[in-house]
Amino acid sequence: AQSVSQHNHHVILSEAASLELGCNYSYGGTVNLFWYVQYPGQHLQLLLKYFSGDPLVKGIKGFEAEFIKSKFSFNLRKPSVQWSDTAEYFCAVNLGSSNTGKLIFGQGTTLQVKP
């Protein structure tokens, strides 16, 4: 069965540190890739998405992600985190060839940024 794996369950960083959250998926076909963020007490928000084209995608709030097809990875990065980035981050995959909107989510990574 298709799955999404997020390697880091809990990450603690100081402000201004760089961030990289790993995401790998298991599916050999065409995929659409997403990162969502859930701030404390808020609903899931779309950070960025990849459908096709340039494998380096930029999202909101200075986040970016790189799709590496050969590694089945879609890692999220931010050069300098802020205290307000404290949240839970979810990687999600849609099987592009399946003609369905079903998202398969990773288990999530809790990011804590210390001021």
> What are the residues binding another protein (CB under 8 A)?
32, 34, 36, 42-46, 49, 90, 92, 94, 96, 99-108
Q: Which is nearer to another protein, 19 or 59 (CB)?
A: 59
Q: Which is nearer to another protein, 37 or 113 (CB)?
A: 37
Instruction: In angstroms, give the least distance from the CB of 44 to another protein.
Output: 4
Q: Which is nearer to another protein, 34 or 78 (CB)?
A: 34
Instruction: With beta carbons less than 8 A apart as the criterion, state whether 81 and 113 touch.
Output: yes
81: three-class secondary structure by DSSP: coil
